[in-house]
Amino acid sequence: MGDDKTLRVIDEEGNEHDYEIVLTFKSDKTQKNYVVYKEPGDSDEVFAAIYNEEDTDGGRLMPIESDEEWDIVEEVLNTFLEEEEGQE
């Protein structure tokens, strides 16, 4: 990962894309680390992936493949967004 707020993703064709990190968290249930990110600017579309925080080469994102994991990510994201709205 890049600095604390950006994430550089290299796609399958070798193109680099910068994204804004919305949040990162570790699930007690799966014991995996997740990152939720979006395109820079006011985009409402978010993406999520699994990452290994101990990976020393910048990290490799792995796809979330189970519905259970997507439910966990959605729940954490919704809670985060509700807290953000409450602070405004």
Least Cα distance to 63 among 38, 26, 35 occurs for 35
pLDDT tens track for 11-69: 889 999 999 999 999 999 999 999 999 998 877 889 999 998 776 566 788 999 999 99
pLDDT at residue 57, as a whole number: 61
Distances (CA, A) of 12 to 2, 17, 68: 19, 11, 26
pLDDT at residue 41, as a whole number: 84
pLDDT at residue 88, as a whole number: 67
DSSP SS3 for 87: helix
Across the range 58-81, mean pLDDT stands at 92
Rounded to an integer, what distance in angstroms lies between the CA atom of residue 23 and that of residue 5? Answer: 9
Distances (CA, A) of 78 to 37, 53, 63, 70, 82: 14, 23, 20, 12, 6
